[in-house]
Structures are given as structure tokens and as C-alpha cells.
Chains A and B, each alone.
Chain A
Amino acid sequence: MMHQSHQSHQSHQLQPVPPPTLPAAVPAVAVSDLTVAYREQPVLWDIDLHVPTGVLLAIVGPNGAGKTTLMKAVLGLVKPAAGQVAIFGAPYHQQRQRVGYVPQRGSVDWDFPTSVLDVVMMGRYGALGWFRRPGRNERDLALAALQQVKLEAYAARQISQLSGGQQQRVFLARALVQDADIYLMDEPFQGVDAVTERAIIELLRELRARGKTVVVVHHDLQTVPEYFDWVTLLNVRRIAHGPVAEVFTEANLSRTYGGRTTAMPSR
């Protein structure tokens, strides 16, 4: 019943890993009957998902499957036509501090006049609330997060001087300083080199080891079994959702991608 993660070679797992909670407990994210439409054109159709606490979940599906929209609906950034989302049993707007969001790297202007440290400190703005300015405490937290993603040497740099992989790590550091319980990441592996990809996945495993729940929009089917322990197969409708070992099957993938998968990893 309980799912064991595939990878056991990570040193972080020396710490006791909280066992994935049984569905009976309050799920980290509960999506029920969620439909999102753009002008009567459904982008997500009647989605039901329960994400248990402490899992690394990949959301996969073809382009236009609604992966980003699902994430934005969970964050209250798009208005659903029907259905609802609960974060640890409560509406999102009551749980803002418990959710960290890593948007797609391309969603912001990297020529914006600001420094790496400053962008990471933005992760604390939510906890600060209106009017209060970031101070020494926020600065220290941001520096620690930069250390975690090995970018402390870049703290004072203008953000336009970073490579794509470094930009992605800055975004991760910005989410880390939020010290959230759930992390939603939109394609963190998009266009990063192999070194950064390793660094990111180690970070995700570390988060899981600390009992955090991590939901990642992911593109590379090959790495799903290696990186994740839960997976959601999405194509406007929910095709399958559950532990990778159970639902990441050839049959489900072909239903998700319309029989066009060539990327099914050999397992």
C-alpha cells in the first residue's frame, strides 16, 4: 500500500524519511472537481487529485494538457469554472505562507534592475506582508538559501548576468526562503544543464526528506521513475494519478499522449 521511493542512494535519506501519508490523512493538496475554461473551452476538465504529504510528484502531459493551468489554479492565479482546491484542508488564501511557488524562468524580465540577493529576498515578502520592509533577518535567510543552491558568490550580481541554470537556482532559492510546506514548481528543469539538473533534484530530495511536499511540472518522461515517487498524467482530464510504480505505465502514457509516446523509458 505504501509506496517506497525508487532511489535509495541519497545521503539525505540518512535522516528518517516521514512515510508518505495515507490518503486518509489530510492531503497536502486536494483538488476536487476542478474545471478551468478559457471562453467556454475547457483547459482542465473535472480534475480530482489528492497529493499526500511528503511526496515528490511529477505532473506530466503533452503541450496544452493544462499542467501550468493546474498549478495556477491551485495558487488561485486562475479562476476555476467549477470545483475547488484545498491546501491542508483549507482554501489557498488562508494558507499562502505554506505554499512556495517557482514559476517558469521565462515568466519574468531578467533585465530588471535588481541583484540576485534581492530576488531571493522577495521570497520573504509574503511573510512580511504589506508595508514592512525586508531587513537583516531577510538578508540572512536569503544568503543561506543562496548557499544551499551554491550561488552565494553571485549574491551581488545583476540578475541579467546569470546563465539559465543559475537563474533557475535563484528561483529555487527564492522559494526556499519562504520555508513553505508545499512547493509548486513549473518546469524547473527546462533548459538547464546536467550539473544544474543534478543540483535541483538533490535539493528536491532534501525537501522531501524534511517532510515537504513537492509538485513539479515535468517534461522529460525518461527521468520520471528516477526523480519522482508520485506522478499525475494529465491531458485536460486526469488520466492517472498515483505512485509511479503503479500508474506510470505504457498503457497510461499512451492514453495521455494519444499513442504518440516514443519516450517511454525502459524499466
Chain B
Amino acid sequence: MTSQQEVQLIAAVIAAACALPGVFLVLRRMAMMSDAISHTVLFGIVVGFLLTRDLGSPLLFLGAVLTGVLTVSLVELLNQTRLVKQDAAIGLVFPVLFSIAVILISRFAGNVHLDTDAVLLGELAYAPFDRVEWQGIDLGPRALLVGSGVLLFNLGFIGLFYKELKLATFDPALAATFGFLPVLLHYSLMVIVSVTAVAAFDAVGSILVIALMIAPPATAYLLTERLGTMLWLSMLIGVASALAGYWLAWVLDVSIAGSMATMTGVLFVGAFLFAPERGLVATAHRRTRQRWAFAQQLLVVHLHNHAGSSDEAEECSPAALHGHLRWSPDFAAQVLQRAERNGIVRRDAERLWLTEQGRKLAQGTGVGG
């Protein structure tokens, strides 16, 4: 495999791994928690490094995961005092932990490979050069192995606890009455988010971790009405963003992580505008259709109410219509045209008549007498 292909594969695997816990973050309205966790894990990594002086120690990983859980606990603790709202609590906790980590790096670990640029943007282009060997056999890039491990772990966790996670996310109170321990599930999910964030940010940086966790699920949310579909669609969108971003970066010769994050945004905007049911275009189209349908209803009810009355000739003349309904002449003409085309109104010389279908419509609205 060329290193180009490897970079793409790493990005795709990490994108899929990030999308899975991201779905639950989005549905639990905790999207900003991914922002916090993906930054504060640095604190755990630094503390782990200062304790072991070894960048390869598993203690770094453990420290990072614990910091993720610590972040969530601190935010919830602050929130529970009712003196600080949740969003403000996130804004308070994560800069503190992150900046302590930055200070620790610059003071005690300035000479090792733990620089803050890499934390934010990652070094995806160099990821293929950090390889794992076992008894002289090349097993592949470390980022790919770690990413695949996390992806399998996430798939396994969500597969195993799908029913429980769904209920605890939709209705935590019912989950609790069934004995499903929603608080435990909540923290397990936060562990998953932390593990994923740590594994991913080494390769792609924290900005891309946030983008990959939130944007694909938010996009999938617009495209489907089922949780199961949302999960695999999120992975698909994440992978598509990663690959499209890679090629965008190659063509424009810019940052890989940057253009991948951009592509997650581009796909979201695409869905936001063009989603078949909920997109802006579909909504606007539906509104227009409803407006015309409503105007035609108004017209038939008007004709129906005045049929047989003394002012029938006047009220039901096409020329006077706009005056009676307070429509602009243009609009009245267009409504009339549509009504005729739909076969609910018939016109002869100076009169408008309801067809049988039009009469039914007028009676069906419940407004007509």
C-alpha cells in the first residue's frame, strides 16, 4: 500500500470510529462535550508522560481516558450547583484543563514530541511513517492499528448495548425504572468518547475529532428518521468527508485535516439545503405548495358560500374575485388558473362555477355551509 492510500485508510477508519459515539452526543444534546473532551485529554497525556517519561507508555492512554471522564464529571458537578449552566460549565472546565496541559508541556516537556500545533491539527500526512513491527514483520501504521481497534471497540459496545443506549438516550427515566442504570451507560458513553478522542487526535488533531464526531451525525440526523440508519449513515458520511477532504487537500495543496473538516461542513450544508424531507429547499417547496392549496380552498369555500345567494352573480364573477378576497389581481388570476387546471372550478363568460369535485372540497374543509 502506498503511503497516500494509507493516509486515506487511516482517515476513513478514524472518521467511522468518531461518528458512532458522535450520534449519541448529538442526540443527547452534548455535542460541545466532544469539544471539551478532545482538548482535555491532553492533560491526561501530559500527566501520564511526566509520571512515566515514556511517550509509548499505556499510562498515557489511561490518563487521557480518565481525564475525559473527569471533564464530564466536573461539568456535571458545576451544573448541579445550579450556579452555572451546562454550556458555561463546559466553557469553564475545558480551557482550564487544556491550558494547564499546555503549561506543563512548555515547562517540563518542551523538548519532546508533544507540541500544541500537532494537538490541534494532527499530523495525518506523517502517520504512515510511525509503524508497528512485530518480530520484524511490518504490521502497518500505528494510527491505523489504533484506529481500527477503536472502531471495533465502538461497534462492539454499541452493538451490544444498542437497545439500552437507545432507551437511556430517549427516555432516561423509563430506562432507570427498568433497572438499566442510565447513569452508568452515560459514563460508559463518555469513556467511549474519551477513548475515541485520544486515539483519533494523535493522528488527526482535536479540531478534526470534533468535526468528525459532530458533523456526520448532525448531517445523518437530517436524512433519516431511524436511529439504526443514523448510525451507519453517520459512518458513511464521515468516511466520505475524510476521503473527499483528502483529495481536496491534494488538489489545493493545503492542510489535510483542515480540508477534511471543511468537507464535513460542506456535506452538512448539502443535507441542510437538499435533504428530501427536512431540507430548506424541500421545506420551501412544501410551503409554496401548501400556500397554493390553501388559496384554492379559500376560493372554493367562497364560491360555495355564495352559491344561491342574492349577490351570487357579483361574488362569483372572475373580475370581482380579487376585490372580495382581498387578493392582488395577479394572485387571484393565478389561483383561478390552478383551480381550473385541477378541475375544481369552471369558468364561463362572467361566472365561476364549482365543479362536483370543487363542491366536495368546499364541504370537506368544514368551513363551507
A residues near B134, Cβ cutoff 8 Å: none
Cβ A113 vs Cβ B225 within 8 A: yes
Give CA–CA (A94, B176) in the complex, Å: 14
Asked if A101 is an interface residue, CB under 8 A from chain B, the answer is yes
B171 to A, closest residue via Cβ? A108
Does B113 reach chain A (CB closer than 8 Å)?
no
Is A119 on the interface with B (CB-CB < 8 A)? yes
B177 lies within 8 A of A109 (CB): no
Report whether A113 and B230 are in contact in the complex, using a CB–CB cutoff of 8 Å.
yes
Contact indicator B163/A107 (Cβ below 8 Å): no
A156–chain B nearest beta-carbon distance, Å: 10
Nearest neighbor of A122 in chain B, beta-carbon distance: B167
A114→B173 contact, CB < 8 A: no
Residues of the B chain whose Cβ atoms lie less than 8 Å from the Cβ of A160: 225
Q: Is A245's CB within 8 Å of the partner chain B?
A: no
User: Would you call B163 and A108 a contact (CB within 8 A)?
Assistant: no
Cβ A130 vs Cβ B177 within 8 A? no
Q: How far is the CA of A93 from the CA of B180 in the complex (A)?
A: 11
> What residue of chain B has the Cβ atom nearest to residue A134's Cβ?
B163
Give the docked Cα–Cα distance between A158 and B225 (Å). 6
User: Chain A: which residue is nearest B227 at the CB level?
Assistant: A113
As a 0/1 sequence over residues 152 to 188 of chain B, the CB contacts with chain A under 8 angstroms (1 = contact) are 0000000011111011011101111111100000000
Interface residue A52 (Cβ < 8 Å from any Cβ of B): no
Inter-chain contact A109/B225, CB cutoff 8 Å: no
Name the B residues within 8 Å of A133 (CB-CB).
Answer: 162-163
B248 part of interface (Cβ distance < 8 Å): no
Write out, one digit per residue, whether chain B residues 221-257 have a CB within 8 A of any chain A CB (1) or not (0).
Answer: 1001111011000000000000000000000000000
Q: How far is the CA of A114 from the CA of B167 in the complex (A)?
A: 11
Chain A residue at minimum C-beta to C-beta distance from B28: A109
Contact: B169 with A112, CB < 8 Å?
yes
Residue numbers in B under 8 Å from A101 (CB-CB) = 173-174, 177
User: Within the complex, what minimum Cβ distance (angstroms) separates B131 from chain A?
Assistant: 38
Is B27 close to A, CB under 8 A?
A: yes
When chains A and B are docked, how far (Å) is the Cα of A75 from the Cα of B174? 10
Complex contact B227–A114 (CB within 8 A): yes
Whether A130 contacts B170 by the Cβ 8 Å rule is: no
A113 interface neighbour in B161, B178, B226, Cβ under 8 Å = B226
Does A199 reach chain B (CB closer than 8 Å)? Answer: no
Quote the shortest CB–CB distance from B63 to chain A (angstroms): 30
Interface size class on chain A is 20 to 34
* Contact in complex: A77, B176 (CB < 8 Å): yes
The answer, among A96, A114, A158, for a CB contact under 8 Å with B179, is A96
A107 with B179: CB separation less than 8 A: no
Residues of chain A in range 56-108 having any CB-CB distance to chain B below 8 Å: 72, 75-77, 93, 96, 99, 101, 103, 107-108
Residue of B nearest to A72 (CB): B173
Q: Is A128 an interface residue (CB 8 A)?
A: yes
Whether A126 pairs with B170 at a CB distance below 8 angstroms is no
Residue of A nearest to B27 (CB): A112
- Contact flags B118-132 to A (C-beta < 8 A → 1, else 0): 000000000000000
Given contacts A93-B179, A96-B179, A108-B170, are A131 and B224 in contact (CB under 8 A)?
no
Q: A75-B177, A115-B226 are in contact. Are A103 and B170 (CB under 8 A)?
A: no
* A227 interface residue (CB < 8 Å to B): no
Q: Inside 8 A of A115's CB, which chain B residues have their CB?
A: 225-226
- Evaluate contact between B180 and A130: CB separation under 8 angstroms: yes
Q: In whole Å, how far is B62's beta carbon from the nearest beta carbon of chain A?
A: 27
What 1/0 mask marks residues of chain A from 113 to 144 whose CB sits below 8 Å from any chain B CB?
Answer: 11100110010011010111110000000000
B170 contacts A107, C-beta separation under 8 Å: no
Query: Does A131 contact B160, Cβ atoms closer than 8 Å?
Result: yes
Contacts A75-B177, A99-B177; is A113 near B224 (CB within 8 Å)? yes
Complex-state Cα separation, A77 to B177, whole angstroms: 7
**CA of A122 to CA of B224, assembled, Å:** 20
B178 touches A126 (CB 8 A): yes
Contacts of A113 in B (CB 8 A): 27, 221, 224-227, 229-230
Contact in complex: A103, B173 (CB < 8 Å): yes
Shortest C-beta distance, B174 to chain A (Å), equals: 6
Chain B nearest CB from A111 CB (Å) reads: 9
Q: Which residues of A are found within 8 Å of B160, using beta-carbon distances?
A: 131
Name the residue on B nearest A175 (C-beta).
Answer: B174
Kindly identify, within residues 301 to 348 of chain B, every residue whose CB is under 8 Å from any CB belonging to chain A: none
Q: How far is the CB of B49 from chain A (nearest CB, A)?
A: 38
**Nearest B-chain residue to A174, judged by Cβ:** B174
Partner of B167 from the list A72, A125, A131, A132 (CB cut-off 8 Å) is A125
- With A113-B221, A113-B226, A130-B180 already in contact, the answer to whether A119 and B174 are too (CB < 8 A) is no
CA–CA, A18 and B26, complex, Å: 49
Q: How far is the CA of A134 from the CA of B164 in the complex (A)?
A: 11
Provide the A196-218 mask, 1 if CB < 8 A to any CB of B, else 0.
00000000000000000000000
Contacts of B174 in A (CB 8 A): 101, 103, 122
Binding site for A on B (CB under 8 A): 27, 160-164, 166-167, 169-171, 173-180, 221, 224-227, 229-230
The 3 A-B residue pairs with the shortest CB-CB distance in the complex, in nearest-first order = A126-B178, A158-B225, A108-B171
User: Can you name 14 A-B pairs with beta carbons within 8 Å?
Assistant: A75-B173, A76-B177, A101-B173, A108-B170, A109-B27, A109-B170, A113-B226, A113-B227, A113-B230, A115-B226, A122-B166, A122-B174, A134-B163, A160-B225
